[in-house]
Amino acid sequence: MGIIDKKLEHTYFHCYATANDHSLYFQDIQNLIRIKNCDSGCEKILLFIAISEVKKVGLLDRIFIKLIQKMFHKHPSIELKEISFKNNIGRDFSSFESLFFKVKQIAHSDDYIFFQNRSGHGPFQKQWFTDFIKQFERFESIAICGSTINFMDHPNRSLSKNVPHVQTYSFLTKVFYMNMLNDNFPGSKETTKFDIICKGEIALSQFFLEKKYNITCIEWPNEAISNLSEAIMTSDVKKNVTIKHYFYHRKYMRKNIKAIISRNLNGTLIWIQYALKML
């Protein structure tokens, strides 16, 4: 089944990407608890989760899946559609690709799709999904709306500060734009961190910018960015955001000791509760 062209009502998809390199999944548990408890503003969200196999799938991975299935069981506004494992080639970008492949089997081109990876901590505010949509729709010809936009190229490739790209720890788009990629998600086949950034994160935004679409972000709500836009900031904005966000990058959250303690306590509690039920 392919993507249907037109539809009167939207469906809202949430694609979450992680990996099994951290056996106890503390940060994922924290993110998923927030997703569960923080009202998105949407009547219903269809949630898909992909886990990259950094190491062989084991008992703790299977228990994690059961914990998450239970977490969202009979949730009033979130339907957990699937949790799947996939190889680690391409990391988050192959995860996004595999999740989009599942989404497009049931999606319409005008439906909204939100992508988040483990480094995107949140959500921290209610109405997060609908507010991303409002920012996405604020300007014409927006292809991607992220939490933040970086203007810098990878420093090992160039010192250019005119390579705008949405930072892909959290971003929203429409199925229509993802379908333009023709099953060739940028970065999905790369194996080095350098290529994943250059041919994945940067290339994703550049794909649309080169087609004369624009990008926007929550950090700078009054800006629609094109390849002709002047750099608003010449450092990595995700580390030093200035407004109250729905999602924060892990590098920003490293400064928040309270959040780190909360993550570890929540993760530990979830695993202890499971262990007690097994006694």
Structural contact between residues 40 and 131, judged by C-beta atoms closer than 8 angstroms: no
Residue in the block written with tokens 């069981």: 73
Distance CA 32, CA 26 (A): 10
Residues near 182 by beta carbon (within 8 Å), at least 6 away in sequence: none
- Say if strands 45-53 and 12-19 run parallel, antiparallel, or are unpaired: parallel
Verify cis geometry, omega within 30 degrees of 0, for the bond prior to 155.
Answer: no
Which residue type, as a one-letter code, is found at position 189? K
Q: What is the pLDDT of residue 258?
A: 82
pLDDT in tens, 198-225: 999 999 999 999 999 999 999 999 999 9
Residue in the block written with tokens 């970008």: 93
Can you tell me whether residue 142 is helix, strand or coil? strand
Per-residue confidence in pLDDT tens, the chain, 279 aa: 344 444 558 999 999 999 999 989 999 999 999 999 999 999 999 999 999 999 999 999 999 999 999 999 999 999 999 999 999 999 999 999 999 999 999 999 999 999 999 999 999 999 999 999 999 999 999 999 999 999 999 989 998 889 999 999 999 999 999 999 999 999 999 999 999 999 999 999 999 999 999 999 999 999 999 999 999 999 999 999 999 999 999 999 988 888 888 888 888 988 898 778 765
Q: What is the pLDDT of residue 21?
A: 96
Q: Which two tokens stand for residue 22?
A: 């951290």
Output the CA torsion sign for 116, 125, 109, 226: negative
Composition of the chain by helix, strand, coil, percent to 5:
35, 20, 45
Distances from the Cα of 187 to the Cα of 126, 138, 232, 259, angstroms: 31, 28, 26, 31
Q: What is the pLDDT of residue 4?
A: 42
pLDDT in tens, 39-55: 999 999 999 999 999 99
Which residue type, as a one-letter code, is found at position 150? N
Distance CA 15, CA 35 (A): 12
